[in-house]
Amino acid sequence: MRKLILASALAATVLPAAAMAQSYGEVRHDQRELRHDQRELDRAYARGDRDDIRDARHELRDDRRERRDDWRDYRRAHPEAFRGPRYVGPRAGWRYRPVAAGYRFEPVFYNRRYWIDPVRYRLPPVVGYQRWVRYGNDVVLVDTRSGRVVNVYGGFFY
């Protein structure tokens, strides 16, 4: 009897976390919904109706909030994916320093060795010459032509 109770308690704590994670199809649906809401907001601005603008802004904000919550649920349900191998800097004596958008990296910091697959970690897709790069425990979006940082997610890896 005790084993049955323990097994059911374990299932009750593990299964909800797994059920919260979204499938790839659900993520794509959410992305389409966000694009649709952005178009609706643009149309409302073009028409100039205040009520339409307010409604479209609220709907877009709610969808963005829902997407953030879904990503957090995914991260919570799959912590092993965010425990990557220990980061090894590009040269001896390297020390981590936080960076922000606009910072310029040397090419050794964003070569192929440090690229990250955006689909695996559910990061926004890259555009043109941009690449997601691991830098310490952070994930940084870098323009590979100039080395400039476009976006930073600090503390991304555990």
- Say whether pLDDT at 14 is over 50: no
Which domain does 109 fall in, by range? 84-158
β-strand partners of 131: 142
60 and 108 fall within a common domain: no
Which DSSP string corresponds to 43-101? HHHHHT-HHHHHHHHHHHHHHHHHHHHHHHHHHHH-GGGG--PPP--SSTT-------T
Query: Are 115 and 49 members of one domain?
Result: no
| Residues 17 and 70 reside in one and the same domain | yes
Average per-residue pLDDT for the chain: 80
* CATH number for the domain that contains residue 152: 3.10.450.160
Higher pLDDT pick, 146 / 46: 146
Same domain, 88 and 151: yes
Is pLDDT above 70 for 8?
A: no
Instruction: Note the pLDDT of residue 91.
Output: 82
Instruction: Say whether both 109 and 131 belong to one domain.
Output: yes
pLDDT, tens digit, 9 for 90 and up, residues 121-134:
888 889 899 999 99
